[in-house]
Amino acid sequence: MSEQMLARQTEIERVLRLAPVVAVVVVQNVEDAVPLARALVAGGIPAVEITLRTPVALDAIRAIASEVEGVEVGAGTVLNARDFHAAAKAGARFAVSPGHSPALLDAADDSDLPYLPGASTASEAMSLAERGYRWQKFFPAVPAGGIEFVKALAAPLPAIGFCTTGGITAQAAAQWLALPNVIAVGGSWLTPANLVADGNWPAIAALAREAAVLARR
């Protein structure tokens, strides 16, 4: 493993260990980005993944990166090299993708931006490990096999750790975090659309506080 890859993997591990849950956020209105991120940080969830699913996502990342103290803002749903470079330029501290491709992996190799690539099979996880990715996103966690599947990967692939995302609820998060190969979970339940639309930042901070104290192995 190159020194650059080792540094990026060390950094993504640091981000994933900040709290048991990484907030997975879809921002529809850029003016919501800063207060929303501040509410999450106030509740103890500093790692915030803004998914590139809306036209304002990059602007939201830019605003959060420049205006919110104590946040580690990342870009999610990174699908290609163009997305990867745009996320880095916007000020993202890490990038996350639902899967991976040769072009996306090449883009990550040419950047200092820490990257969490996605896998959903043992073969995909092994291929990423060969490229130096100790830390991976398992997605979509529930549809792709659920807790028993990820648990079964721990014995043959003990060197790989996952941030599991996709279909995980507040009620089930603790079960996922109890797995030996799960470092964190991605959670969209922290930012319900109705609370964001209402600007109910105290309620979002309360959900973050509940998530921040979840135990993990």
User: How big is the chain by its Cα radius of gyration, in Å?
Assistant: 16
Q: Which of 132, 175, 125, 127 is nearest to 154 (CA)?
A: 125
CA dist 36 and 205 (Å) reads: 9
> Considering 3, 11, 13, 49, which one is annotated as catalytic?
49
Is residue 137 annotated as part of the catalytic site, yes or no? Answer: yes
> Considering 3, 13, 67, 137, which one is annotated as catalytic?
137
Contact (CB, 8 A) for 40 and 68 = no
Question: The tokens 């995980």 sit on which residue?
Answer: 168
User: Hey, what amino acid is at 27?
Assistant: V
The structure tokens listed for 72 are 């580690």
Is residue 89 annotated as part of the catalytic site, yes or no? Answer: no
- Which residues form the catalytic set? 49, 137
